[in-house]
Amino acid sequence: MNYLILFDPDGTATMRLILEHGISPSNVYVWDNMPTHLPLLRLLSDRYKFNVIEQDLFKEKIDMKFDEILSNPPYDDGMYVKTMKLLPNLLKEDGEFQFLVPNKILIPYTKGATFAKKSLHIDRIDLTYGSSFVDSIEGTWVCNVVGGLGKTVDKFPLVLPNGDVVETDFDSPNPVMEMNPTDFTLHNKVMRNDNKFVMHKKQKIDVKYFVYIRPTAKRVNNKLRYHGVANEMVDGLENGFYQECNSAEQAERMLKIYTESELFRYISYCNIGFTMISRFNKEFLPNIEDCCYNSEQDVYDFFSITEEEKEHIRGVLAKKRNKHH
């Protein structure tokens, strides 16, 4: 079997494969496109006799495919997805890959989720790996994505940080900030993908009554939540999404539920890592035009939230944000 490691700045992954797993150096190949990393990799290669690929794999194809491809690529969206897109050219049809990437690959409509769904067969995603990185990489929870070539048409096992396993896919409302089984159950209950939102740029909104969700979140007590307006075209209102309402009262009530209710403060806590609100939120936020809001219980009843789930929600809201938030 031939092994390829994509991105290994100091050779740690390569040496572990050879020294700890007993893989013959002649079967190990490593590639890194950072010029500052190559001198050390070449030095280690001279000593341990593994192979360093010198071509720029982003620009050139090589006449070789691998049984196993391992990678811990840079975590910015453009680079880790770009690296995953190398797999069809480098992995054998029956080969396996393991990639350490940000868990936002689980969010529908992101570049990573879209590519993985259409071009890779995902066997499992393991979130337990994130605990090893949370102290060193602020704002990112890392997961190990395991699979091969193909398409992901069925649900796959998702190993949660506590070791529990749920079944999910790239079309489900996967929370990425709070990640235990109750969070996944709640998101499947609440994020129904049945709203009537319309995307908005800068144009005038030609309806009398509407609820509008801004594209940026509002920080309250160091926690981000949905932010918007009702029934008025205020200055700077652009790039968000809105729903027409039957009355001013309905619009104001919907806005209050989205931005102030316990349930939606919890939902925003689980899904907004930075200030920008993703397309996922626009698509999956539920239609609440028929939901009352005289008390928190009205919202919980509308979504059939159990007492145990309410306790979980309130526990999450009482937390201080961890570093990966």
pLDDT tens across 72-121, in order? 999 886 899 999 999 999 999 999 999 999 999 999 999 999 999 999 99
What percentage of residues in the chain have a pLDDT greater than 70?
96
What percentage of residues in the chain have a pLDDT greater than 90?
81
Q: Does residue 305 lie within any of the structural domains?
A: yes
DSSP of 272-313: -SSSBPPHHHHHHSPP-TT---SSHHHHHHHTT--HHHHHHH
- CA 175/CA 70 separation, integer angstroms: 26
Read off the pLDDT band of 207 (50, 70, 90).
Answer: very high
| Contact present, 105 and 143 (Cβ < 8 Å) | yes
Q: What is the residue-averaged pLDDT of the chain?
A: 93
State the number of CA atoms in the 13 A half-sphere of 267 facing the CB: 29
Residues 22 and 127 in one domain: yes
What is the average per-residue pLDDT within 158-174?
A: 96
* Whether the predicted pLDDT of 323 surpasses 70: no
What is the number of structural domains in the chain?
Answer: 2
Residues 173 and 256 in one domain: no
Residues 111 and 44 in one domain: yes
Q: Does residue 186 lie within any of the structural domains?
A: no
Q: Per-residue pLDDT tens for 24-41?
A: 999 999 999 999 999 999
Residues 168 and 230 in one domain: no
Residues 305 and 278 in one domain: yes
Residues 62 and 159 in one domain: yes
Residues 13 and 142 in one domain: yes
Residues 8 and 147 in one domain: yes
Residues 107 and 233 in one domain: no
Read off the pLDDT band of 324 (50, 70, 90).
Answer: very low
Write down the pTM of the prediction: 0.90
Q: Does residue 188 lie within any of the structural domains?
A: no
Residues 114 and 216 in one domain: no
Residues linked to residue 159 through DSSP beta bridges, in sequence order: 126, 165
| Contact present, 122 and 101 (Cβ < 8 Å) | no
27 CB burial (10 A radius; 0-12, 13-18, 19+): middle
How much is the pLDDT for 137?
56
How much is the pLDDT for 78?
82
Report the CATH number that the domain containing residue 34 is assigned in CATH.
3.40.50.150
Q: Does residue 172 lie within any of the structural domains?
A: yes
Residues 150 and 42 in one domain: yes
Domain extent at residue 125 = 3-180
Read off the pLDDT band of 271 (50, 70, 90).
Answer: confident
What is the average per-residue pLDDT within 155-183?
A: 95
